[in-house]
Each structure stands twice: as C-alpha cells, then as structure tokens.
Amino acid sequence: MTAHSLERKLAILSDAARYDASCASSGTAKRNSKDGKGLGSTEGSGICHAYAPDGRCISLLKILMTNFCIFDCAYCVNRVSSNTERARFSVDEVVKLTLEFYRRNYIEGLFLSSGIIQSPDKTMEDMVRIAKKLRLEENFRGYIHLKTIPEASEELIEQAGLYADRVSINVEMPTDASVTQYAPEKKPDTIRRAMAGVRMRKEAAKDKSHTGKRPPRFAPAGQSTQMIIGADGSNDATILGQSTRLYSSYGLKRVYYSAFSPIPDATAKLPLIKPPLMREHRLYQADWLMRFYGFNAGEITAGTDGNLDLAIDPKLAWALRNRHAFPVDPMRADREALLRVPGFGAKTVGRIIAARRHRRLRWDDLVRMGANMKNARPFVTLADWTPGALLDAPDLAARFAPQPEQLSLF
C-alpha cells in the first residue's frame, strides 16, 4: 500500500463517508469547558457550520476510519469488490483532525464510521479507542457520533455508548429481503438485536442502583438509523411502516432516508439512477407528520398506490383525500384537528391555541402567526372567511399541483 499524505487520506475517507445522511449534533447532555481544562461544549441545539452545494449541512467531521471493507454491499462505494482507492487513518490522525477543526469552529464534533476490517470486533475496538482518547486524554467535550457495527461484541458497544453522544446502526434497506439481497454479509436480525441492545442499555443507565448512585450515561443523544431509498423496489408505505416499527421498538431519535445516489465504480447489480431527491423529501415530511403531527403511516399512504404524491406534500394530500374532516374552525377545533390543517405548523397551532383564549381570530391574525394561508384556505372557516364551495371543488387538487415546467425539474 502506498503511503498517503494526511490530506489525501482526508479526501478519500470523507469522500467515502458522504453517503451517511445523519448530521445531527443536538439533544445531548449539556457540557462546557469553562473549567479551562478541556475543549468544547454542547448546549442542546446543534449547529450547522457550513452547507455544501448538495444542500446538506456540515455539522460534524464525518469520516470513515478506513474504507477498506470485507463486506460486499451492492449499494456501497466501499464494498470489497469496488476498485475505489483505499486509505486508513491512524487513531492520532483522527484525534488531531477533530481537535484542530473544532478549535477553528469548523465543526461540532466527530461522526466516525468505518469499513469493516479483519473482524467487526477489531474495527469497533479501534473506533472506540479514538472516542476514548478524545474524551479521556484530550478532554474533548464536543459531540461524538459513532456508527456501531452490529456484529461487534456487547462489551464494545457498551464502551461506545460511554464515550459517544449518539450511536447508530444502519438498517440499510427498507426490508429484510432487500438487505439479504444487496448486503449478503449483513444480517437483519443481528441489526435489530443490536438496536434492541442499545435501547436496553440506555434504559438501564437511567435506573439508579439501590445505593442511589447513577450509572454513567449511555449515548445521551440516543440512537438513529438510516435506510437507502430507491435502490430496491420497496414502496413508501413499506418504508414508513418500517420506520413506525423502528421508532416504536428501539426508541430511535431519527430514521434517516438516503436517496440512492450514483457512486463511483458502481456494481452491475444496481443500475445507477438519478437520486430520487423529491421522494426522499416527501418521506422526511411524512416522517415529521408521524412524529409531531399525530399521523400514522397507514393514514398517510391510505388511498394512494402505496407511494407518496411527489407533486404535493403528504399533509395536503391527506387533507384533499379527507375533505369530510374539514373545514376546521381555528376558534373551536382541538389541537389534534388543528395539526391536521395544511399550512398550519406545530408552532402556529400553539400560537392559535394561546391567542384564541383572548379574542376572535381573523385571516390576517393567522398570517401573522405563521400560517401558510395559501394551503390552509380551503380547509378553514374564520370570522372573515368561509371556503364555501371551494372545499368541494373537483379541481381543488389540481390547483395545488405545481406548474408543469417545475415538474420537469424532478
């Protein structure tokens, strides 16, 4: 193997890491370095330090420890059968890059993932060593996200959670069958068991022992996962069903959807397509509806062919299919009903509920409260507005559809 310069390694190993969508650096325990003995802080909300022209936020130094890998996952640029250039960071190189970038306020911390070398345990051990060195030797108090390797021993995952704010294990594909087909070395039930293990450890770390002593916190920012969209034939109903199951079973903070995107040196098994970015966007919107708006997966995809409408957002699409639930009167409706009005966000709903105790709300009030009245128009009645026949207009859906020339963008 030729020796690479640090810069070349960084190029190879960040290039290889770009397919992980997660960038969150929020929601962990609060820390700072006011004692002057360390570096870094975490204060609840994360910070996006830069944006690349792909529209993705750059919050963490997202790199692979190595892109050598013994697995042969068809969708991955680092699979063993790919001819991509390989490199490997030493522990010290990762530590140094993280700290020097952090000191210059480029990043919130480190997101470390890795190809699997020699064995899952060996790989996980090296990753844990990096996190441990950052925390214990360098007193680093910024954010650490470790991608854990499901096949690694429980002891190593336990340690990972001790030093990392977040751990994640990718389910990779929306169904077990697709994982087996495209990632032959990965075992869906091992992945599930590893996620179950993380949830159990997190819960165990919350219980005080009988002496009243609190055990050390385990991954305070929780766990997340990612699945690739558009590589297999799964429809959106299947994907959202899988997310629902993951959220309810393993206490996941986030499920990330990653539109399958062309990779260098692709395999013939997975023909390259234009990444389905709009589909990915709609899935995130649906995911939000499930987590913050009281919708369930079944409602979101009921009455469709199993896939979300790409032309309009899923909440508006649901309202158009369920016009019998409207119009809603913002003065009287309960929170659940208000959250289902297109154009009303969770914040707007909170504002409506706080303000309506004091006076009657009108159209302009809702505009000032942040409602998107263009979307809400047919679905609400107000002192100075009734939708009349608009709600039942046969061409209502068409009025919301974007212009044809915009469609051609996707």
Partner 1 sequence: MPHVALPHTGTDKAWRDAARGLIARRVPPDEVTWSRGATEEDLFAQAPEQVAQTRATLKVPRDFVSLAGSVVWHRDPERFARLYAMLWRLRSEKGLMEDRGDAALAKLRSMEKAVHRDRHKMTAFVRFREIGARDLPRRRFAAWFEPTHFTLEPTAPFFARRFADMDWMIATPDLTAIFENGELSFAEGQPKPDIPEDATEELWGTYFRNIFNPARLKVGAMMSEMPKKYWKNLPEARHIPEMIASAGARAEAMQAAAPTLPPLRAAKITERLAAPGVVRAMADDLDQLRAEENACTRCPLYENATQAVPGEGPRDADLMVVGEQPGDQEDLAGRPFVGPAGQMFDRIAREAGIDRSRAFVTNAVKHFKFAPKGKRRIHQNPNTGEIKACRFWLQSEIELVRPKLILSMGGTAAESLTGSRKGILSRRGTVEETPEGVPVFLTVHPSYLLRLPDPALRDDETEKFRADLKSAQAHLEELRAS
**Residues 41-100 interacting with partner 1 (rule: CB under 8 A):** 41, 43, 47-58, 61-63, 70-72, 80-83, 97, 100
Q: Report how far residue 120's alpha carbon sits from residue 179's, in angstroms, rounded to the nearest whole number.
A: 18
Q: How far is the CB of 76 from partner 1 (least distance, A)?
A: 13
List, in order, residues 6 or more apart from 138 with CB less than 8 Å away. 38, 39, 95, 99
* Complex with partner 1: residue 61 or 391, whichever CB lies closer: 61
Residue 275 makes contact with partner 1 by CB under 8 A: yes
Window contacting partner 1 (CB under 8 A); options: 158-166, 196-204, 309-317, 386-394: 196-204
Which residues between 205 and 264 bind partner 1 (CB under 8 A)? 244-245, 247-249, 251, 259, 261-264
Q: How many residues bind partner 1 (CB under 8 A)?
A: 94
Among residues 398, 377, 397, 399, the alpha carbon closest in space to that of 388 is found at 377
Q: How far is the CB of 205 from partner 1 (least distance, A)?
A: 15
Window contacting partner 1 (CB under 8 A); options: 32-40, 300-308, 311-319, 390-398: 32-40
State phi, psi for 389 to the nearest 5 degrees: -80, -10
Q: Which amino acid is at 171?
A: V
* Complex with partner 1: residue 41 or 372, whichever CB lies closer: 41
* Complex with partner 1: residue 72 or 121, whichever CB lies closer: 72
Binding mask 295-334 for partner 1 (x = CB under 8 A): ----------------------------------------
Residue 110 makes contact with partner 1 by CB under 8 A: no
Q: Report how far residue 50's alpha carbon sits from residue 36's, in angstroms, rounded to the nearest whole number.
A: 27
Q: Which amino acid is at 401?
A: A
DSSP state of 65: S
Window contacting partner 1 (CB under 8 A); options: 226-234, 318-326, 354-362, 399-407: 354-362
CB 68 within 8 A of CB 117: yes
CB 179 within 8 A of CB 188: yes
* Complex with partner 1: residue 146 or 259, whichever CB lies closer: 259
Sign of CA dihedral 388, 391, 396, 400: positive
Q: Can the peptide bond before residue 275 be classed as cis, meaning omega within 30 degrees of 0?
A: no
CB 96 within 8 A of CB 110: no
Residue 115 makes contact with partner 1 by CB under 8 A: no
Which residues between 166 and 185 bind partner 1 (CB under 8 A)? 176, 184-185
* Complex with partner 1: residue 192 or 320, whichever CB lies closer: 192
* Complex with partner 1: residue 118 or 390, whichever CB lies closer: 118
Q: Report how far residue 119's alpha carbon sits from residue 101's, in angstroms, rounded to the nearest whole number.
A: 30
Q: Report how far residue 41's alpha carbon sits from residue 103's, in angstroms, rounded to the nearest whole number.
A: 11
